[in-house]
């Protein structure tokens, strides 16, 4: 099924988009930002590495990355057309500090990413999977929080925003259960968000037009 995101135009990720097939062998060593950006940029003074899970059309990355040229951003998206759309957009904006990966972010983090290499995990308007039998597909789970803790640097953050009340209660409960791993803090805010916005992603703007309320928190690695 196509969403018609390219409006008839071929979407070209170019060197900005990576597929799981380009990653090292599954049983090989774990990787970090140097795989996507090279060792020199990864080790440059002040360099940070932030991951967005479910980057959708890439609006957050397009807005946030130019404000933080020293930060390396990896958007991980598991819907092929959205991955291609976002990577094409990043390429057209020539955002040298952004890469997109076409993969399941939870699996990527669990199996591929090395310890203590991430400064922030961004999770904005994650799919709520409202039916009980689908809850296991939600990104926030006990094990995924353990994995975020493993890959985050000391005092690194998980930033989470949702409009979905039941998913919010789920996240609050999982945050409470993971209190030995993370301190819960008020959402720190995003510098590229517009006036009155929380993060300014595509879904936030869509839901704001419907006057939905938003919930947000930061989990800081202990």
Ligand X SMILES: C[S@@+](CC[C@H](N)C(=O)[O-])C[C@H]1O[C@@H](n2cnc3c(N)ncnc32)[C@H](O)[C@@H]1O
Site string for ligand X, 152-191 (x = CB under 6 A): ----------------------------------------
- 64 lines the binding site for ligand X (CB under 6 A): no
- 37 lines the binding site for ligand X (CB under 6 A): no
Q: Which residue in the shown chain puts its C-beta closest to ligand X?
A: 54
User: Considering only 28-36, 122-130, 147-155, 173-181, which stretch makes contact with ligand X by CB under 6 A?
Assistant: 122-130
- Alpha-carbon span 150 to 176, nearest angstrom: 18
Only one residue has tokens 């699996």, namely 107
- Alpha-carbon span 11 to 91, nearest angstrom: 10
- For helices 142-151 and 165-177, the axis angle rounded to 10 degrees is 60
Out of 72, 100, 139, 158, the only residue in the binding site for ligand X (CB under 6 A) is 139
Only one residue has tokens 């970090």, namely 32
User: Considering only 9-17, 89-97, 103-111, 186-194, which stretch makes contact with ligand X by CB under 6 A?
Assistant: 103-111
Out of 203, 214, 218, 221, the only residue in the binding site for ligand X (CB under 6 A) is 203
- 104 lines the binding site for ligand X (CB under 6 A): yes
* Pick 49 or 83: Cβ nearer ligand X: 83
Cβ 185 to ligand X, closest distance in Å? 21
Out of 32, 56, 156, 200, the only residue in the binding site for ligand X (CB under 6 A) is 56
CB-based burial label for 136 (10 Å; 0-12, 13-18, 19+):
exposed
Q: Is 177 among the residues known to form the active site?
A: no
Cβ 118 to ligand X, closest distance in Å? 15
What is the rounded (10 degree) CA torsion for 82, 158, 97, 113? Answer: -80
Task: Compute CA 21 distance to the chain's CA centroid, rounded to the nearest angstrom.
Answer: 20
- Alpha-carbon span 84 to 70, nearest angstrom: 24
Site string for ligand X, 69-88 (x = CB under 6 A): -------xxxx--x------
- Alpha-carbon span 153 to 18, nearest angstrom: 24
> Which of 175, 167, 186, 170 shows the shortest CA–CA distance to 149?
175
Q: Report, as residue numbers or ranges, the catalytic residues.
A: 127
* Residues binding ligand X (CB under 6 A): 53-56, 59, 76-79, 82, 104-106, 124-125, 127, 139, 201-204
């Amino acid at each position: 099924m196509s969403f018609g995101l390219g409006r008839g135009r071929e979407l070209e990720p170019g060197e900005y988009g990576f597929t799981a097939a380009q990653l090292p062998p599954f049983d090989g060593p774990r990787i970090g930002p140097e795989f996507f950006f090279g060792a020199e940029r990864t080790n440059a003074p002040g360099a940070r590495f932030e991951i967005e899970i479910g980057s959708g059309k890439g609006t957050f990355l397009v807005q946030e990355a130019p404000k933080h040229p020293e930060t390396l951003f990896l958007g991980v998206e598991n819907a092929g057309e959205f991955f291609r759309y976002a990577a094409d957009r990043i390429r057209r904006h020539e955002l040298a500090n952004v890469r997109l990966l076409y993969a399941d972010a939870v699996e990527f983090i669990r199996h591929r990413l090395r310890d203590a290499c991430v400064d922030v995990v961004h999770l904005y308007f994650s799919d709520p999977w409202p039916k009980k039998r689908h809850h296991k597909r939600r990104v926030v789970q006990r094990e995924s929080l353990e994995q975020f803790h493993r890959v985050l640097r000391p005092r690194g953050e998980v930033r989470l925003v949702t409009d979905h009340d039941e998913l919010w209660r789920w996240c609050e409960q999982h945050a409470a259960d993971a209190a030995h791993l993370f301190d819960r803090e008020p959402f720190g805010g995003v510098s590229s968000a517009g006036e009155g916005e929380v993060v300014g992603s595509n879904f936030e703007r869509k839901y704001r037009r419907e006057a939905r309320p938003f919930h947000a928190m930061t989990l800081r690695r202990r």
